Amino acid sequence: MGFLTSRQRMGAAALILAASTLLSRLMGLIRDKVISWQFGAGSEADLYFAAFVVPDIINYLLAGGFMSITIIPLLARRFEEDSQDAWRFFSCVFCWMLAGSLLLTLAGMLAAPLLARLTAPGFSPEQWQRLTFFMRIILPAQVFFLCGACLTALLYLRRQFTVPALAPLVYNGCIILGGVLLPLVGPDLGMTGYCVGVTAGAALGAFALPLWVATRNGLCLRPVWQHALMGRFLITALPLMLGQTIIMLDEQFLRVFGSLVGDGVVSLLNYARRIAQVPIGLMGQAAAVASFPFLVSLVTRDDRDGFDQTLNTALRTSLGLIIPCAFWLTAVAWPVLTVIFQGGRFGTEETLATLPLTRIMLAPAAFWLVYMVLVRAYYAHGDTLTPAVTGTIMTLLCLPLYYWLAVPQGALAVAALSSISISLYVIWLMLIWRRRHGTKAFYGLGLLALRGVLCSLPGTAAAWWVSDLCLRQLPWPPLAAAALGLVCSSLAFALCFLPLAWRYMPFMLRAVLKRFRRPGT
């Protein structure tokens, strides 16, 4: 990799992470397919999805999802200056993360009955009791996630993207195995197997695999509880720990307020969000994670022009891809939902109920992507406070709107408020960045987005019509009609979109073709 430019290495990292995300999302959809087949959109599935609220909040409180962002800039400088002291700093962070995760997990397990009532206020007493049981199985997974996040950050720092890319595949694989195999032992266990699979998958994929690789590459862990850099680390991490932003809590809001709407709504919102997040996770996560180490390096060198150019490239490339993808998925949502979820206890009625929710949640796809890249630009500058404060303010503004406005109107209103709040939050962050750092990072994005929308509209209309025609008119089994509808509607979209894109967005198609032609870059 030494002969490659930083942009080429970022592209290679993005490809690795994109491939991993694609496989992970595919396994996640397989997992949800098995769940929907076995349990549909009923009480048991609602309980399983609601059981993640408290574990996820613990992860947020310890900034586990942002560990690479908080530790990489500090650790990179220490390794350049003094490698032995860098290992002491890393060990100190790891020890405190282990202690904090164990304490919060134990507290959560003890307080699980109360937390079940708080996080799912619309459930019955019997459901609260089972939710408590599920939560206590899933909570220990956070110890492995949080400690594994430290190890993954170390691998990212060393530009080792392959192993972290495998972690979600192992995680989802364990969930599927647990859900399929454990019911063979006890048919009345319900979704207990999936809960066991969560903790096993976290232990193996999120912790054991990075630990094994890091150990082989010279990991030097020791019991260290004090270090001079811990103060700076906490200053960076505390806004992420204390600032519960609308982005982080979006999925939890769907679960909490969905429980107040009615039975099965939590599951329907979850299934819809799973589909809507596929293009966001595939394109946004890969671009954001791969670009962050390079953005940090440019800030360290005080290369402002290079920083703006790298950020603009990441935004333009990802935005040019996600807009047509989101429009296509909106058009073919019906056959996609039928192929992925329908069957077993998930019937046509559940598919049609999930359909509008999916389309609503796809609306802010471009804003999700901009957030995932832009927030790392903030973090590369050492600014974790601005996203945390603005996101927390947006959260506080949305809480009463969810309870008093969205819940009485039903699931569609809950999904719509989620999409609106995400979009407004990202626009706010963009305006702040523009005022502080100028407009170079956003150069050409507005015109690119407009071209993407206009080029996608004819294909979207054609694909929507074809998919509806196949599912409404063909006298075939639903799965066969949906499969044919998906293929035909996708072809209709491509035939309409590609000529327009080649005429008005040729740089995007050339960039994609170039990347496929040069897999080594």
453-467: average pLDDT = 96
Reported confidence tier of residue 110, pLDDT bands at 50, 70, 90: very high
Q: Residue 504's pLDDT is what?
A: 87
Give the whole-angstrom CA distance, residue 55 versus residue 115: 11
Reported confidence tier of residue 318, pLDDT bands at 50, 70, 90: confident
Q: Residue 153's pLDDT is what?
A: 80
What is the sign of the dihedral through the CA atoms of 400, 406, 407 and 408? positive
Q: What are phi and psi of 219, to 5 degrees?
A: -55, 135
Express as a percent the part of the chain with pLDDT over 90.
34
Q: Residue 2's pLDDT is what?
A: 36
178 vs 366 pLDDT, higher one = 366
Range of weakest confidence among 37-46, 371-380, 411-420: 37-46
Residue-averaged pLDDT of the chain:
83
Residue pLDDT, tens place only, 205-246: 888 888 888 888 777 778 888 887 788 777 777 766 665 677
Reported confidence tier of residue 68, pLDDT bands at 50, 70, 90: low
Range of weakest confidence among 104-113, 294-303, 331-340: 294-303
49-74: average pLDDT = 71
Q: Residue 180's pLDDT is what?
A: 80
Q: What are phi and psi of 274, to 5 degrees?
A: -60, -45
What is the sign of the dihedral through the CA atoms of 415, 419, 422 and 425? negative
Domain ranges of the chain: 39-242, 245-521
Q: What are phi and psi of 231, to 5 degrees?
A: -60, -45
267 vs 382 pLDDT, higher one = 267
39-65: b (≥16 Cβ within 10 Å) or e: bbbebbbbbbbbbbbbbbbbbbbbbbe
Q: Residue 185's pLDDT is what?
A: 65
CB of 195 closer than 8 Å to CB of 179: no
Q: Which helix (H) or strand (E) holds 327?
A: helix 304-331
Determine whether 285 is exposed, middle or buried from the number of CB atoms within 10 Å of its CB (0-12, 13-18, 19+).
buried
Can you give the three-state secondary structure of 71-88, one letter per residue?
A: HHHHHHHHHHHCHHHHHH
If we measure between CA atoms, which residue out of 362, 354, 431 comes closest to residue 390?
A: 431
Q: Residue 186's pLDDT is what?
A: 59
227 vs 18 pLDDT, higher one = 227
Q: Residue 520's pLDDT is what?
A: 44
Q: Which of 260-263's residues contact partners 24+ apart within 8 Å by CB, and which partners?
A: 260/121, 260/122, 260/403, 260/407, 261/122, 261/407, 261/410, 261/411, 261/414, 262/122, 262/410, 262/411, 263/42, 263/43, 263/46
> At 346, is the secondary structure helix, strand, or coil?
strand
194, two tokens: 């999936």
CB of 268 closer than 8 Å to CB of 357: yes
Torsion of CA 107, 112, 114, 120, to 10 degrees: 130
pLDDT at 6 over 50: no
255, two tokens: 């679960």
| This prediction's pTM | 0.81
Q: Residue 10's pLDDT is what?
A: 47
Reported confidence tier of residue 496, pLDDT bands at 50, 70, 90: very high
pLDDT at 157 over 80: no
Q: Residue 14's pLDDT is what?
A: 52
Residue pLDDT, tens place only, 200-213: 999 998 888 888 88
424-430: average pLDDT = 95
Can you give the three-state secondary structure of 124-172, one letter per residue?
A: CHHHHHHHHHHHHHHCCHHHHHHHHHHHHHHHHHCCCCHHHHHHHHHHH
305, two tokens: 């022009």
Residue pLDDT, tens place only, 20-42: 666 766 777 778 788 888 787 77
What percent helix, strand, coil does the chain show, rounded to 5? 85, 0, 15
Q: Looking at the DSSP assignment, which residues form a beta bridge with residue 346?
A: 343
Range of weakest confidence among 90-99, 106-115, 157-166: 157-166
60-68: average pLDDT = 60
485-496: average pLDDT = 95
Q: Residue 183's pLDDT is what?
A: 66
Give the whole-angstrom CA distance, residue 188 versus residue 186: 5
Give the whole-angstrom CA distance, residue 99 versus residue 476: 57
Reported confidence tier of residue 119, pLDDT bands at 50, 70, 90: confident
CB of 330 closer than 8 Å to CB of 275: no
295-301: average pLDDT = 79
